Chain A
Amino acid sequence: MTMAGGGGAEPWHEIVLRTLKRNEVRLAVYVPDNVLKPLIEALHADAFFTVFATTREEEAVGIACGAIMGGMRSLVLMQTSGFGTLANALASLPVAFQIPVLLMVSERGTLGEFNLGQALVHRTMQPVLTALAIETNKLTRTDEVEFIVDRSIKQAYATRQPAAMLLSPLLTGGKVFQK
């Protein structure tokens, strides 16, 4: 298999981590995912960040919104299926209240998915993001990660609106079917 992400020397998750740090994003809350594992581990290993798991993605959005209003920039990490649980929480909290929560979603359900449910919920993600007018960018190449993450954070805070960053299997390799 060819290497995903364009084969840059620095892995995508290290670029994400240092770009979060440079933008003073200090809190990361997550519902775990295999593709996110290296980023979650790197965040846990760096004392700059407060990092912990929640029981549901909605809960993570609530915590992040509270922290942002309290002055701490915050990121929520989840998988596509977790995003699928969020339409009401996003509409009624960060979108309505103008809280610039950062959402990073590891894409499942596309480019080689083996679970039909994952493929179906994936199809609901972009329509929900579009309906809520949430600024969304897809990360497909290592050499674009820093620019997209940096500009997404800056735009979210400048406009007081949430931002979504979708981690494509083109970047991460995704979750591969194994018999």
Chain B
Amino acid sequence: MNENLAPIGPGNAQVMNRFDITKRLVAKLKGEEAVIGGIGNTNFDLWMAGQRPQNFYMLGSMGLACPIALGVAIAQPHRKVVALEGDGSLLMQLGCLTTIAARRPKNLTIVVMDNRSYQITGGQPTATAFGADFVTIARGAGLAQAAWAADETMFEALVEEALAREGPSFIAVRIDDKPGVGTTDRDPARITDRFMRGLGTKA
């Protein structure tokens, strides 16, 4: 990377698209990695990007994608686990970043997609609209391997790097305000059943 360029932050990262970024993420998953999708548009685009058996789709429990992912990562230390969250959701449970940093799970990656708004409830601004910076917050919590994706190419490189090395890793992405392109299944028991079969914990 050109050392003369300013460091990538929320102010100069390219504004990307959630569904496009989610498809790029899913395309990098070659090892039956588990993905925990946060509620709302995050999940909707994960669902539409292809219903892998190792995907878990929350319905409610806003803010718990990272904690659920940490639990899976502890139970299955040889499987890579990705938590996908929106900005409003992660802001609701920021303390979990300190817990994850304290546990240092080698197999956990967090991806936060930040459109600076509670988009699904009408676009009310979140704190990131006023300057809160997820990568600075993550580093302050103790997650040293934290970075903003400058653009789609860098996002793919960050995902490859996170899946290849020992984590935890934290990737932040600026996204636009396009709604999710579909919706998930709404049957929680079926979601649990598929996910556990996908993780090999249910025959």
Q: Using CB atoms and an 8 Å cutoff, list the residues of chain A in contact with chain B.
A: 27, 50, 52-56, 58-72, 74, 88-89, 91-93, 96-99
Contact = CB atoms under 8 A, between A and B. Distances in A.
B199 A63 contact: no
20 contacts: A52-B99, A55-B96, A55-B99, A56-B95, A58-B63, A58-B67, A58-B93, A59-B96, A60-B67, A62-B68, A66-B68, A68-B71, A68-B75, A69-B72, A69-B201, A70-B73, A74-B71, A89-B64, A96-B59, A97-B191
A52 B103 contact: yes
A53 B100 CA distance: 11
Contacts, number: 123
A88 B98 CA distance: 22
Going nearest first, the 9 A-B pairs with the smallest beta carbon separation are: A66-B71, A92-B60, A70-B75, A62-B67, A55-B95, A62-B64, A72-B75, A67-B71, A66-B68
> DSSP class of A's interface residues: helix, strand, loop or mixed?
helix
B71 A59 contact: no
> DSSP class of B's interface residues: helix, strand, loop or mixed?
helix
A92 B66 CA distance: 16
A68 B68 CA distance: 10
Interface of B: 34, 36, 56, 58-64, 66-76, 79, 93, 95-96, 98-99, 102-103, 188-189, 191-192, 195-196, 199-201
Given A63-B70, A71-B199, A71-B201, A96 B60 contact: yes
Given A58-B63, A93-B64, A98-B189, A69 B199 contact: yes
B29 to A, nearest CB: 17
